Amino acid sequence: MNDARIVELYWQRDESAIAVTQEKYNAYLLKIANNILNNHEDSEESVNDTYLAAWNSIPPQKPAVLSTYLGKLTRRISISLFRRKNADKRQGGEFALSFAEMEDVMEGNMEPEKEMEAQILGELLNKFLRSLKPDERRTFIGRYYYMDPLKEVAAYCGMSEGKAKTMLFRTRVKLKEYLRKEGFMI
């Protein structure tokens, strides 16, 4: 079933929307959640919470690209669950590792309570990503949005792990310089 029809099922408050969404997107959403949480049970919980969040937010939302919308919900829910479960400790997993890699760029400025700063940062990050070469952008998004392991990112970008690691490092340096230039306090 196409995404427009699935969204229409949500708008009609037809409970089959959840079953159809699960059938079409469960593997995709589990991958996103597991890359953040590194725990199958927690990932399943996060994905189930995603279906509930979609049910509660459609309507009034009418996402144009359902996969992106569900992916964002899953990321937000998974990161929130990760933070709750690991409030006092850092645990393994791709989220912790990729988050640690980005700490040198952000240096503690990403406090969830500062919604306006987060919005400005998001706009700057989107502008920065559009300025990158396609291979740099794909590598960066694969690692820091989808939280894919470096080895996997390198494989689907058609490069060695070393090249991907170097490219990510250089992109983080460029991002840090770009944010400073745009006046974002780092």
Cis peptide before 59 (omega within 30 of 0): yes
Q: How far is CA 64 from each of CA 3, 13, 19, 89, 139, rounded to the nearest angstrom?
A: 8, 18, 19, 38, 25
| pLDDT for the residue numbered 131 | 95
State percent of the chain over pLDDT 70.
82
| pLDDT for the residue numbered 112 | 44
| pLDDT for the residue numbered 85 | 80
| pLDDT for the residue numbered 7 | 95
Average pLDDT, the chain: 85
Closest residue by Cα to residue 21 from 95, 74, 76: 74
Which tokens go with 166?
Answer: 């170097």
| pLDDT for the residue numbered 109 | 47
pLDDT tens per residue across span 2-36: 999 999 999 999 999 999 999 999 999 999 999 88
Domains of the chain: 3-85 (1.10.1740.10), 94-181 (1.10.10.10)
| pLDDT for the residue numbered 113 | 45
Dump the DSSP string for 47-99. HHHHHHHHHHHTTT---SSHHHHHHHHHHHHHHHHHHHHTTT----SHHHHHH
pLDDT tens per residue across span 119-157: 777 788 889 999 999 999 999 989 988 888 999 999 999
Query: What mean pLDDT is predicted for residues 169-178?
Result: 94
pLDDT tens per residue across span 74-91: 999 998 888 888 764 545
